[in-house]
Amino acid sequence: MESKEEEPNVSCGRPVCLHNPHLDALKDDILYHFSLGTGTHNLPAMFGDVKFVCVGGSPWRMKSFIEYIAAEVSLQDPNSDYPNICAGTDRYAMYKVGPVLSVSHGMGVPSIAIMLHELIKLLHHARCTDVTIIRIGTSGGIGLEPGTVVVTKQSVDATFLPKFEQVILGQTVVRSTDLDQSLAQELLQCGNELKQFPTVVGNTMCTMDFYEGQARLDGAFCYYTEADKQAYLNKVRDAGVCNIEMEATVFAAMCKLSGIRAAVVCVTLLDRLKGDQLTSSHEVLVGFQEHPQILVGHFIKKQLKAKAADLSPLINIRGAMRRKESHAKL
């Protein structure tokens, strides 16, 4: 039996919202796959200043991202060593510089879902506010040149519907995969400002498999023809899908439930209408994988500059008040 889950009213605003009354009964909340916990770590001190969270599949890629951000926004010496905060586990990797947190999530819906449960709880326990979370990654393009960056407008499943389904207590629960459209437009604007690579906004299809689930012909098993594959991919294109990956639906659903502003930014490594296998050189693929971090780095830099500009008048007023009080004492 399929049931449409009644979504909670996410009206708590700026904080990161949890919707689990059972957590109140816990003495300590153990974030097992991060090797962190409320009883063993001072999460507000460690993470309370986080405003931007970037997540991606590869631990190596997420360390590279934090090194890039440190240099891009001059938060810290880019040659510094950035220790893995989750070194006590081999499941995920986590790095931090200033208000930016970088976390790996592995591959596929189950892996990123586990990570997001603990990440959302971490941000809540750390009392973070006004958090923006962006998934950066790679994908297969649909009718796009390799190297194009796709900012997701709507995440859809393999039947082109904007929903994420999960079996809970034996029933299929359906959740919305809406993403923040204003954030998507801000990221598109960043791409237009950079002019380093094509950037588009479009639908992203999330599948549960890399091979048959994405209509590839080169897996260990395949019971359909080239004509079947092309017919399906043409339907994908006609549904407004620009790229295919394996995490976007659950990412969008969980971020929406927690009230976090979220976006998906993925580079296309190939055009699936023209083939299944990656034929570009390693150097070219590595260059493509840098495109999302360049775009998101530009976005974060703009946001930090804007925030500093907003605070500047307040800082000047406070300074003037302190000088006035000092002169009054004289």
* Residue 33 · residue 91 · CB < 8 Å: yes
DSSP 140-189: EESSS-TT-EEEEEEEE-TTS-SEEEEEETTEEEEEE----HHHHHHHHH
Is 138 annotated to bind ligand?
yes
In sign, the C-alpha dihedral spanning 42, 48, 50, 56 is positive
Is 214 annotated to bind ligand?
yes
Name which of 317, 295, 315, 319 is nearest 307 in CA terms.
315
* Residue 1 · residue 171 · CB < 8 Å: yes
In sign, the C-alpha dihedral spanning 225, 229, 234, 239 is positive
Residue 10, CB-side half-sphere exposure with 13 Å CA sphere: 18
**Dist. CA 251–CA 56, nearest whole Å:** 11
Q: Which residues of 118-136 are buried (b: 16+ CB within 10 A; e: fewer)?
A: bbbbbbbbbebeebbbbbb
Overall residue count recorded for the chain in this entry: 330
Long-range contacts of 322-329 (CB under 8 A, 24+ apart): none
**Dist. CA 13–CA 246, nearest whole Å:** 29
Is 322 annotated to bind ligand?
no
CB-count burial class (<10 Å; 0-12, 13-18, 19+) for 145: exposed
Which tokens belong to 78?
A: 């880019």
Q: Find where tokens 């995490």 sit.
A: 247
Is 216 annotated to bind ligand?
yes
The binding site consists of 91, 135-138, 214, 216
The binding site for substrate consists of 214, 216
The binding site for phosphate consists of 91, 135-138
